[in-house]
Amino acid sequence: MTASESIRITVLGSGTSVGVPMIGCRCAVCRSDDPRDKRLRPSVHVKFGGRGVLIDTTPDFRQQALRAQIERVDAILFTHSHADHVMGLDDVRPFNYQQGGVIPVHGSEEAIAAIRRSFHYIFDEGATESSRPRLATHAFDGAPIDLYGLEFTPVRLNHGKGTAFGFRFGRAAYLTDHSDIPEESMELLAGLDVLFLDALRHKPHPTHSTVERSLQSVEKLAPGRAFFTHICHDLGHACTEERLPSHVRLAYDGLEIEVAG
Ligand SMILES: [Zn+2]
Ligand SMILES: [Zn+2]
Ligand SMILES: [Zn+2]
């Protein structure tokens, strides 16, 4: 792609691991009529130069792909291997049928190993009578990944005691699950137009950032705009946004953002 081409980011899901509404919950946010309070599991689709890159395959992926009318999945990037980020992987099969070929899948060594265990049948060498996704796994080490002319740089994040990765591409970055952004990763996040970041709720959580902590990250990194994601049912969309600075918004399912390439 050329620098003048734009990148379109579609939020497929902005919710935490159980989604919003949460099964069985009768709280005000779970019963809200505001469509922005209906949050599927967290993922984005990145479209540029006629290509589509998917970040994570949530348990809601089929529904998300239909709703967003996703036309292509030319590569998949995994942030980490937690269930809310990987469990929809089997549902990429229609993209194999329609596009032909094999879809490259990138993740950390740890994430790729976990995905190969969880979906062992996809990677079994033997013949099968059923259809299974056609994927090629690649472990990344932190170096930028060139996908169809756009570089995606893995950004290491602390996710409680574990590690997750965000990705920077062009002047945008998507940092889901994290409790902290390590100092060396902050350097990769200078000069952003758009920054997506984890903001689970107000109350502290061992593995996730909060609204307050993510506001501090926004202040340090000074992106043009920031969008919070991985949101739980503690945060109603309208009443939370009222108290945020105007360049910081809550992401919502279906939100589309355009960024310069
Ligand atoms: Zn998550
Ligand atoms: Zn609730
Ligand atoms: Zn996680």
Check: pTM over 0.85? Answer yes or no. yes
User: How far, in Å, from the CA of 77 to the mean position of ligand 3?
Assistant: 14
User: How far, in Å, from the CA of 57 to the mean position of ligand 1?
Assistant: 11
* pLDDT score for 260: 86
User: How far, in Å, from the CA of 22 to the mean position of ligand 2?
Assistant: 6
> How far does Cα 172 stand from its chain's mean position?
12
User: How far, in Å, from the CA of 3 to the mean position of ligand 3?
Assistant: 33
Q: Given a cut of 80, is residue 2 above it in pLDDT?
A: no
* pLDDT score for 3: 53
* 198 confidence band (pLDDT: 50, 70, 90): very high
For the record, the structure tokens of 34 come out as 């505001």
Which ligand sits closest to the CA of 179?
3
User: How far, in Å, from the CA of 253 to the mean position of ligand 3?
Assistant: 19
User: How far, in Å, from the CA of 17 to the mean position of ligand 2?
Assistant: 13
Average pLDDT on 127-132 reads 89
